[in-house]
Structure 1
Amino acid sequence: MLQIEFTAEDVARTRFAVSPLWEVVASVRVLKGADEQGLHRRWADQVRPRLAAAKLDLAPLSALVQVPTYGIPGFLVPPPTTPQPSLDVELAALRTTPYELLRTSSDAAQAGVEALRADPERGLGRLADTIAAYWDVAIAPHWPRIRTLLEGDILHRATLLAEGGARRLFDDLDPQLAWNSGTLNLEHRFVRGERTLDGRGLLLCPSAFIWPRIFSTIGFDPWQPTLRYPPRGVGTLWHPRAAAPSTALAAVLGRSRTLLLTQLTAPATTTDLAARTGLTAGGVSQHLTAMRAAGLVTAHRTGRLVLYARTSVGEALLTAGD
């Protein structure tokens, strides 16, 4: 049992954030076999052939994300300093990681860390470039859906905190957590004993790719103590959600564009969408081009394929139109 002691200042400084960089690393764990329950099988089955087609060399990243292992090098995923940093911001910080922070407690990742220490500037640059390329293929097409899930969970937790304070927040957060008289008890598989937050508070980060685990970074300077936990509804993240096009939305966008937007439950090509909807490939391309200009869809190239995905604006329109 890990016992995390809170002072009044720690409660006052507790906050939430979303980390795109962490989602990259956690998703690599899934692809390497950490998803024993198959929660992300739909996603993995789509992403693996796309990664193969893109011919990405993931070695710099893969060497640091070993499965099975009890930890991930802290410098690879430092806690975000703002609530919703972009991946570019997090990668800029990664590229400038101080030499003394290039360390790990994971024996399996030690070789990858030593390679970085041999030439930090070149190694960190290559690592950041690898993460950016992986993001474009594996995460970016799905990011609006993932981000909506994570942000929705944060909103729910903030409401609980406002209604019932820290006890209400933590008692609802995860079955592995329990709040008791200023102490947060975490059923940790590898860490035991008491930890203090030293007035820095606790950073809470929902993560789509870690269920059923909680990852903790407590007591490692210079980072704020952090808990990464599975959000509510993560079990439905990859379930198909296509439905009949909204009549109200169709009156604004047109039936064909509304139908295409509805069908984008997962990233798809123009050929895929033409087969599903009965529209011509040329017509699909024209509608997607218009919706992309309006910020409703994005396009991501994977090898010879261009995958289209809904943006957060497109997701919001469909939800409002239900």
Structure 2
Amino acid sequence: MDTRLSFSAADMAEIRFAVSPLWEVLTSFRLLRGAPELPSQRRWAGPARERLAEAGLDRGWLALLAPPGSYVADLLTPAPRTSFPTLEAELAAVRATPPARVRDELGRLAKDRPGLERSPRYRLLYDEPAAMLAKVTAEIETYWELALAPYWQRIRQLLEADLFHRARLVAEYGAGYVLGELHESVSWDDGALRLVRRHCGLLRGQAGSGLVLVPTAFAWSRVLTVSVAPEPPQLAYPARGIGALWEPRPCAVDAVAGVLGRSRALLLQELDTPASTSALAAQFGLSAAGVSQHLTALRDARLVTAHRVGRSVLYARTAVADALLSPS
């Protein structure tokens, strides 16, 4: 089934791009729960899926609201208000969802999954939307720390690069050109955006004016859409370079070792993928105390960041470290 979204001159003037943390939560969670994944994504998905199961998030609120392969509650993806909203700002918008809308979207979920309305979480959210949305957003914050926070710098760099690339194309060729080359399932013709995948729905009568385009790092096989009045419609599309996002990056370790020392340079090289102190100690045959001392020094120099994941802490390289290690 095709869908056509007509654009007036005013709509064209209100097309904008945004990098949305909540869209990354939604798309990454669905990937971990069974959506198709690229081979390169397994470097991230394997460890993240294990942490998700250990925390019980594979059967929590997100599992209720964002099942793979069917309708996803639109309240999870409020239209971004700015080009780079924070996770906190987007979660505040989720908590502000009107009770009537929460119940309506729960009803849509139940149509796809017979018997869902008898589940305890469904009943709690239906009966006490405001109180339970606070629990939903608390779970999203936990999921963020487990699955995305250690990798967010890398993900955000990819999304920002896509956003700035598209913005340049708009300046050179116009918005219609950019809309027509977002994805193979999307085309632009005679003042209308056409979606050729039957699972996509984007209706002007169900949304406000304009259009928000959101690059994502996890929904690689298709576009996703949201149409909820009075917000503008949203279209999430695969970011450019998504296939190379998780590939190991080349490092100029020897040059950096002359400044930082070889142990710290090798630790930075290994932190192309976030890791814990104990994992790094085992990898290099060092004591946990020694690795911790090195990591503290690197963190003080803003070359690594620390992220608590359950009972452990994962360390990740910063953009400063990436630039330092990049071969000239």
**Pairwise TM-score range, normalised by the shorter structure:** 0.7 to 0.9
More divergent stretch after superposition (306-315 vs 86-95): 306-315
Q: Which amino acid aligns with 1:315?
A: D
Q: 1:191 to 1:199 in 2, by over 3 A?
A: closer
Trace 1:1-322 onto structure 2 (pairs within 5 A). Answer: 1-35=2-36, 38=39, 40-54=41-55, 58-69=59-70, 71-102=71-102, 103-104=104-105, 105-106=108-109, 107-108=111-112, 111=117, 114-191=123-200, 195=204, 200-218=209-227, 220-245=228-253, 247=255, 249-250=256-257, 252-277=259-284, 280-319=287-326, 322=328
Q: CA deviation at 1:256?
A: 3.6
Supply the distance in 2 between the matched residues of 1:4 and 1:318 (Cα, whole angstroms).
Answer: 46
Supply the distance in 2 between the matched residues of 1:85 and 1:293 (Cα, whole angstroms).
Answer: 27
Deviations 1:47-84 (A, max 9, x none): 12223444557512211111221x21111211211111
Q: CA deviation at 1:263?
A: 1.8
Residues 30 and 40 in structure 1, CA contact (< 8 A), matched pair in contact too: no
Instruction: Give secondary structure in 2 for the equivalent of 1:33.
Output: coil
More divergent stretch after superposition (278-287 vs 170-179): 278-287
Deviations 1:19-58 (A, max 9, x none): 1112112111112111255553222211122234445575
Supply the distance in 2 between the matched residues of 1:203 and 1:85 (Cα, whole angstroms).
Answer: 13
Q: Which amino acid aligns with 2:199?
A: F
Return the TM-score normalized by structure 1. Answer: 0.88
More divergent stretch after superposition (123-132 vs 174-183): 174-183
Supply the distance in 1 between the matched residues of 2:292 and 2:88 (Cα, whole angstroms).
Answer: 29
Residues 23 and 208 in structure 1, CA contact (< 8 A), matched pair in contact too: yes
Q: Which amino acid aligns with 1:60?
A: W
Q: CA deviation at 1:273?
A: 2.5
Q: Which amino acid aligns with 2:69?
A: P
Residues 75 and 94 in structure 2, CA contact (< 8 A), matched pair in contact too: yes
Instruction: Give secondary structure in 2 for the equivalent of 1:125.
Output: helix
Supply the distance in 1 between the matched residues of 2:207 and 2:146 (Cα, whole angstroms).
Answer: 40
Q: 1:197 to 1:55 in 2, by over 3 A?
A: closer
Deviations 1:5-25 (A, max 9, x none): 112221211111111112112
Return the TM-score normalized by structure 2. Answer: 0.86
Q: 1:255 to 1:12 in 2, by over 3 A?
A: farther
Aligned positions, number: 318
Instruction: Give secondary structure in 1 for the equivalent of 2:34.
Output: helix
Q: CA deviation at 1:95?
A: 1.7
Q: Which amino acid aligns with 1:142?
A: Y
Supply the distance in 2 between the matched residues of 1:268 and 1:8 (Cα, whole angstroms).
Answer: 50
Q: CA deviation at 1:250?
A: 4.7
Deviations 1:195-215 (A, max 9, x none): 479872110001111111100
Residues 16 and 213 in structure 2, CA contact (< 8 A), matched pair in contact too: yes
Supply the distance in 2 between the matched residues of 1:193 and 1:316 (Cα, whole angstroms).
Answer: 41
Instruction: Give secondary structure in 2 for the equivalent of 1:211.
Output: coil
Supply the distance in 2 between the matched residues of 1:83 and 1:282 (Cα, whole angstroms).
Answer: 42
Instruction: Give secondary structure in 2 for the equivalent of 1:173.
Output: coil
Q: CA deviation at 1:172?
A: 2.7
Supply the distance in 2 between the matched residues of 1:193 and 1:89 (Cα, whole angstroms).
Answer: 25
Q: 1:36 to 1:306 in 2, by over 3 A?
A: closer
- 5+ residue gaps, structure 2, are none
Q: 1:140 to 1:252 in 2, by over 3 A?
A: same
Identity of aligned residues (%): 47
Q: Which amino acid aligns with 2:241?
A: G
Residues 33 and 58 in structure 2, CA contact (< 8 A), matched pair in contact too: no
Supply the distance in 2 between the matched residues of 1:46 and 1:77 (Cα, whole angstroms).
Answer: 25
Instruction: Give secondary structure in 2 for the equivalent of 1:23.
Output: helix
Instruction: Give secondary structure in 2 for the equivalent of 1:129.
Output: helix
Supply the distance in 1 between the matched residues of 2:122 and 2:56 (Cα, whole angstroms).
Answer: 24
